A and B are shown apart, each in its own frame.
Chain A
Amino acid sequence: MKLKSFALAAVITGLGIGTVHADDLRIGLSTPLSGGVAALGQHEKWGAELAIEELNVAGESGGHTFALDAQDNQCNPSQGVTSVENLLRNDPVAIIGALCSSVTLAIMPMVEREKVPLVVAVSTSKVITEKSGTGGNDWTFRINPSDVGLAVAMANYIASTGNIDTVAFVGEDTDYGRGGHEAIAAALEAKGVEVVSADFFQQNTPDFTTLLTRLANTAPDAIALYAVGADELNFLRQFRGMGLPSHLTGRIAFDEIRDTVIASGAIDGATSVFPYAADLDTPENRAFVEAFEEKYGELPNYQSFEAYEAVKIIANAIERAGSTERTAIRDALKKTEYTSLTGRTVAFDENNQAHNAAIIMRVDGTEVVIEAQSDT
């Protein structure tokens, strides 16, 4: 039933029959709504929708009302360009995008040309930071930590455990895995931890027994996994079967596997560094999780959290700018001091990169506990 109404909603928004009023300020969102990572894109959309709903009810932001314009980019740069062209037709005040780093990199020159603020909320490639801010693309802002920030946090944690000297890296053969490897190898080396091997598998690989057998043979102290979706599930389910002694860590989306792998007890003791955890114990986050769960029947994840904050940060900038003119919004964004649900302050450095917390989580039996919060 939920499925059907969801499908209907998708068709209706697809046809453009939303409840959009002419004087609404439009916030664009380019995210994958079909294809392999559509589930993540859907969460990003939900997060943004919830934030807009709250803003419109509260009537904050200087009496403005907002509307979300979400376009599918299929995690494909060329579709990403088309999706932003579609967004630009509706004259948005700002765009949130684009989940996959390669798509974000493809649309960055477009927003610079068209002079539209782009708030990057999920993509982690460090290249985005390198290209943004003073002297570069001055219209791109990133609120989530980059690969480098997360890698440093993870390296600090791994070094602090004291019993991990060797790490084997396993990642998907995408910008996510490759970028993650580059960052983590440098950060671990700085801490004196050796990265003994790096394996990149094709997305959509079903069988990991060979790789796991090899890792069981070399027996590194820890395995750092950078994978999402089906690959992550496959790897983790097969991980226990091969009886590996290594500690499991990496950027594991615990929120996505709570009811399956974690509930089975298969990865007891594993740790993960992530920009967000639904278990985060601040009053603001508890309220967000409750509202989200009530509206969508699922726990919010990293994507929903970041999109929620992106919308709030844009609205906050519009309020401070006292204008809906894009250059004014961009200038206001630069001076952002927004209190995140994590309790930290989101502010942009000279590369328009914010430094929110990295959260280190650990699986304790069949539960996720928050081990520490760290700088990025």
Chain B
Amino acid sequence: MTGLFISQLVLNGVVIGLTYALIAVGLSLIFGVMEIVNFAHGQVYMLGATAMLTCVTVLGLGYFPAVLLATLVVAVTGLLLYVTVLRHLQQGEFERGIILTIGIGMVLQNGITYLFGAQPRVVDTEFSFIYLNMNGLRIDLMRLLTIGLSAVAMGGLYVLLQHSRIGKAMRAFAQNREAAFMVGIRPAVIAGTAVSLGIGLAGLAGASLAPVFTVHPAMGIPILFKAFAIVIIGGLGHIPGAVLAAVLIGVTESVVGGFGPVALQDAVAFLAMIAILMARPEGLFGKGVRV
């Protein structure tokens, strides 16, 4: 019984950790390339969920086409945000980036509230209410699909960054903007792609989690602060670090919550972040910006 209990806790932790990862990776990517801490990241996650809701309930799409379309909508929104707003940020304008993204977040969240109302909504797809039971270990099929999509997206991102031309350019840009510019890398294309990718990943997280959780305008806020903590623990701009930190936090939270009060579970990410800031400000996994 205890063995099963702990296995279930760890399984829950890995699952929730991988969904954190999807959100944290986008945040880390945008920071790595643009040096922007995206305070609107929780709201684009919410936008993904709202788009998913619309795709399923209004357009009547199935799960996979709806996730795809919703993610695309958010990625395009990200691109538009880059072209209209974030493009104007100069290097080193760290605070201005925060202010701009807070403003964007306010518009998104309250705009969605104004249009759709604040009441929570649920998205039921053809895979809802299916629960798998493996020798007593339980998992919801929707969650399994989410981590599947999460793994595919992160694998894709890895390949993109390591092996494609634009990925290599992105990494070069992150390391040294001016040098990258001199060797003919076009900053607007690189930064636009990175912002769109990062925001699209948050949109994917929102879309795939919409059927797991309920959809409402404030859903992105608690997840944003958790993602901040994860990104700092993993090292700002360090993408594999963010993934590892996300899973680590997910599992720790789950095990702590399995034995202690819920309030302590909520505090795990924060306490870990404060400890890291004190002891190892560059994050758990190394120094500096690494995409």
**Touch A–B, Cβ below 8 Å:** yes
Q: Is A201 an interface residue (CB 8 A)?
A: yes
User: With A7-B114, A207-B213, A242-B138 given, is the CB distance from A233 to B263 under 8 Å?
Assistant: no
Interface residues of chain B, those whose CB is within 8 Å of chain A, are 1, 5, 8-9, 12-13, 15-16, 113-120, 122, 124, 129, 131, 133, 138, 140, 209, 212-214, 216, 218-219, 221-223, 253-254, 257-259, 261-263, 265-266
Tell me if A233 and B9 are in contact (CB < 8 A): no
Given the known interface contacts A204-B218, A207-B213, A209-B12, the answer about A39 and B138 at a Cβ–Cβ threshold of 8 Å is no
Chain A contacts of B122 at CB under 8 A? Answer: 233, 237, 260
Which A residues, 1 to 47, have Cβ-Cβ distances below 8 Å to chain B?
A: 3, 7, 34-39
Give A217 to B2 CA distance when docked, in angstroms. 8
Report Cα–Cα, A38/B8, bound state, in Å.
37
The CA of A7 and the CA of B111, in the complex, are separated in Å by 12
Q: Is the CB of B262 within 8 A of A200?
A: yes
Q: What is the 8 Å Cβ interface bit string for chain A, positions 241-271, against chain B (1 contact, 0 not)?
A: 1110000000000000000100010100000
User: Known pairs A36-B216, A211-B262, A237-B122. 10 more at Cβ < 8 A?
Assistant: A3-B117, A36-B218, A38-B119, A199-B262, A202-B222, A213-B5, A229-B119, A233-B214, A241-B138, A266-B129
Within A194-225, which residues are at the interface with B (CB < 8 Å)? 199-202, 204-207, 209-211, 213-214, 217
B118 in contact with A3 (CB, 8 Å) = no
B257 touching A211 by the CB < 8 A rule? Answer: yes
A214 CA / B5 CA spacing, docked (Å): 8
Interface residue tally on A, bucketed by range: 35 or more
Q: How far is the CA of A204 from the CA of B225 in the complex (A)?
A: 13
The distance from the CB of A6 to the nearest CB of chain B, in whole angstroms, is 8
Whether the pair B119, A206 counts as a contact (CB closer than 8 A) is no
Q: Are B118 and A38 in contact (CB under 8 A)?
A: yes
Beyond A39-B117, A204-B222, A264-B129, whether A214 also contacts B140 by CB under 8 A is no
Which residues of A pack against B, CB within 8 Å? 3, 7, 34-39, 173, 199-202, 204-207, 209-211, 213-214, 217, 229-230, 233-234, 237-238, 240-243, 260, 264, 266
A213 touches B118 (CB 8 A): no
Chain A residues lying within 8 Å of B259, measured Cβ to Cβ, are 214
Let me know if A230 and B219 touch, CB within 8 A.
yes
Q: A227 to chain B: closest CB distance in Å?
A: 11
Pairs across A and B, CB under 8 Å, 16 listed: A3-B115, A200-B262, A202-B222, A204-B218, A204-B219, A206-B213, A206-B214, A209-B16, A210-B265, A213-B9, A230-B214, A233-B120, A241-B131, A241-B138, A243-B138, A266-B129
Q: Which residues of B contact A35 (CB under 8 A)?
A: 118
* B124 / chain A contacts, CB cutoff of 8 Å: 260, 264
Q: Which residues of B lie under 8 Å from residue A264 when comparing CB positions?
A: 124, 129
| A38 and B117 contact, Cβ closer than 8 Å, known pairs A200-B263, A241-B138, A242-B138 | yes
Give the distance in Å from the alpha carbon of A200 to the alpha carbon of B122 in the complex: 23
Within the complex, what minimum Cβ distance (angstroms) separates B267 from chain A?
10
Provide the bound-state CA to CA distance between A90 and B120, in Å.
34
